[in-house]
Amino acid sequence: MTRVEIDKIMAILKKEAGRLKVPVVGLIAEETQDPFKVLISCLLSLRTRDETTAAASERLYQIAETPAAILKLTQEKIEKAIYPVSFYRNKSRHILAICQILEDEYAGKVPNQLEPLLKLPGVGRKTANLVVTVAYNLPGICVDTHVHRISNRLGLIRTLTPDESEIALRKKLPPKYWIEYNDILVPYGQYICTPLSPFCSRCAVIKFCKQEGVKKHR
C-alpha cells in the first residue's frame, strides 16, 4: 500500500469516525484529562463492553479518583464498584497493586513512557500505548483487536497478533497518524468493519481494501 493510499484512507476514516460514537476511554480522556483515570478505565475496558466500562468507571471514581484514595478502599469495595466488568476480581487486585506502585515509586503520578507502564500489574502494550497517546499526547500506536483486524483487512500489514501489528505499523504507518490511529479505527471496527460479516457495502474505503480474511460480508 502506497503512502498516497494511506493518506486517502486516513482522511476518509477520520471523517467517518467523527460520525460514530467515541470509545469510552477516549471520552474519559477528553472529559477529565487525567492520565490515572485513563489508565484505570482502560484496564476496566479489557474484554468489556463500552457501556459497562463507562458505568463501572463512574461508580469507582465517585468513591475514589486518585491512587491514594483508592488505597483506602478494600478489594471488596472495589469489586462491588466495578462489577460486572470482565475479570472484576483480578482487575480489582491489579488496581490496588498499581495504585501502591504509583504512590511508592512515582509520587502518585502515572508514567508517560511505555517501559514503566508495562511493569504495572495487568498492563499490556495496548493499555500502555493508550495512556501514552490519549493521556499524554505522545507518540505511540495503540493496537487492540479492531486496529489489528482492520489494518490486516486493508492489506496495510500482515500479522498474526496485536503486538506484531504494533511493530509492523510503527514501520509502515506515517508517524503523524500514530496518536489518532486507535481512536479512528476502533469506532469503525465496532460499527462498520465488524469481526464477523463486516458491512462492506457501507464501507467508505472499500475501494482501497483488500478484504484480507473476509469470508462473508454484508
Q: Say what the pLDDT of residue 97 is.
A: 98
> Measuring CA to CA, which residue among 137, 143, 150 is closest to residue 170?
143
Give per-residue burial for 82-92: e unless 16+ CB within 10 Å, then b: beebebbeebb
CATH class of 3-20+140-202: mainly alpha
Q: For residue 178, which phi and psi values (nearest 5 degrees)?
A: -55, -50
Cell triple for 140: 505511540
Cis peptide bond prior to 175, omega within 30° of 0? no
Residue pLDDT, tens place only, 160-191: 999 999 999 999 999 999 999 999 999 999 99
Q: Can you tell me whether residue 170 is helix, strand or coil?
A: helix
Q: Say what the pLDDT of residue 23 is.
A: 86
Q: Say what the pLDDT of residue 22 is.
A: 84
Give the predicted TM-score (pTM) of the model: 0.90
DSSP state of 176: G
Q: Which of 7, 21, 104, 126 is catalytic?
A: 126
Q: Say what the pLDDT of residue 175 is.
A: 96
Q: Say what the pLDDT of residue 21 is.
A: 85
| Domains in the chain: boundaries | 3-20+140-202, 24-135
Q: Which of 144, 171, 176, 210 is catalytic?
A: 144
The domain 24-135 having CATH identifier 1.10.340.30: the answer here is yes
Residue pLDDT, tens place only, 38-48: 999 999 999 99
- 126 catalytic residue (yes or no): yes
Q: For every one of its 218 residues, what pLDDT tens digit does the chain have, with 9 covering 90 and above? A: 899 999 999 999 999 998 988 888 988 998 998 999 999 999 999 999 999 999 999 999 999 999 999 999 999 999 999 999 999 999 999 999 999 999 999 999 999 999 999 999 999 999 999 999 999 999 999 999 999 999 999 999 999 999 999 999 999 999 999 999 999 999 999 999 999 999 999 999 999 999 999 999 99
In sequence order, the 6+-apart residues with CB closer than 8 A to the CB of 97 are 120, 121, 122
- 50 catalytic residue (yes or no): no
